[in-house]
Amino acid sequence: MNKPVLDYLFGLSGQVAIVTGSTKGIGLAAARALARAGARVVISSRSQADCDRVADELAADGFEAIGSECDVSDSDALAGLVARTEQQWGRIDILVCNAAVSLHRGPNLDIDDASFDATMTANVRSIMWLCKQAMPIMARQGGAVVLMSSIAGLRGNTMLGTYGVSKAAEMALARNLALEWGPSGIRVNAIAPGLIKTDFAKALWQDPENERAKAAVNPLRRLGRVEDVAGVVVMLASAAGAYINGQVIVVDGGTMIAGPH
């Protein structure tokens, strides 16, 4: 019997997904969307209590989820996250590297060494550590890796320059990993969101006047919602994205193509 087209293209039944930074914001929306598509989801953040809360909420809605505390800046913690996932469900099909930090606002050359190193560790090196642990397991049956980048990695920014540098590195990493692991059946892509209404970006939109000004220069005349990004995560993780590999998909309502105002 043929499956309905949505199940065929976007269904993730039986698959296992790890989502870092998934107790709030884009990560939480991605985890919920993956669960609704049928995946068993590992919720991860620095707080076990928050992980358990989100996992319990998903379970109450009839989805399979577990919570696993993990600081992505700790390579041993990442190894433990992968080990727990494999122990629980015996496989990993989807890896969403969403956790990130932004520790400096201002010119690139004003950042201190410790903040620069911490930013690059959390936003770039952690992905390499996690992929090194998870991708050999994923290669048993193939899968999809989604790196959460940003349009800050595609253009200059006088306030978030170092964050942008780390996000540009993620894009390059997606391309390189896609080349290296494509023969093993693993696709690797990056998403570059624009301004999304999350706590992480609250300083950019919490003032109503500032929000109106930023929405006014967006072709859709609004800021992004977490669900706008979560849908692309599901697409890249599912059969709908089966021939998309090594790409950066911009999700910004058209900000990058809008002319000067």
Q: What was the pLDDT predicted at 205?
A: 55
CA–CA gap between residue 177 and residue 133 (Å, rounded): 13
Among all chains, which residue has been given the structure tokens 């967006």?
A: 218
Please give the model's pTM, rounded to 2 decimal places: 0.94
Task: Please report, for residues 10, 45, 141, 208, 218, the alpha-carbon distance to residue 99 in angstroms, rounded to integers and kept in the order given.
Answer: 24, 8, 25, 27, 26
Alpha-helix residue ranges (DSSP H) falling in the chain: 5-10, 25-36, 48-60, 75-89, 113-120, 126-138, 161-181, 202-205, 208-216, 226-237
Q: What was the pLDDT predicted at 103?
A: 82
* Degrees, nearest 5: CA angle 97-99-102: 130
- What class, spelled out in words, does domain 5-196+226-250 have in CATH? alpha beta
CA–CA gap between residue 230 and residue 234 (Å, rounded): 6
The set of catalytic residues is: 163
Residue 98 is given by DSSP the state: -
Q: What was the pLDDT predicted at 11?
A: 96
Q: What was the pLDDT predicted at 40?
A: 98
Amino acid present at 115 = S
**What is the residue-wise DSSP string for 225-253?**
-HHHHHHHHHHHHSGGGTT--S-EEEEST
pLDDT tens digits along 16-65: 999 999 999 999 999 999 999 999 999 999 999 999 999 999 999 999 99
Task: Please report, for residues 92, 188, 213, the alpha-carbon distance to residue 142 in angstroms, rounded to integers and kept in the order given.
Answer: 9, 11, 44
Spans of the chain, pLDDT less than 50: none
- Residue 105 tokens read as 């606002």
CA–CA gap between residue 148 and residue 229 (Å, rounded): 9
Q: What was the pLDDT predicted at 206?
A: 62
- Residue 78 tokens read as 């990442």
Query: What is the sign of the dihedral through the CA atoms of 207, 25, 234 and 152?
Result: positive
Segments making up each domain of the chain, as ranges: 5-196+226-250
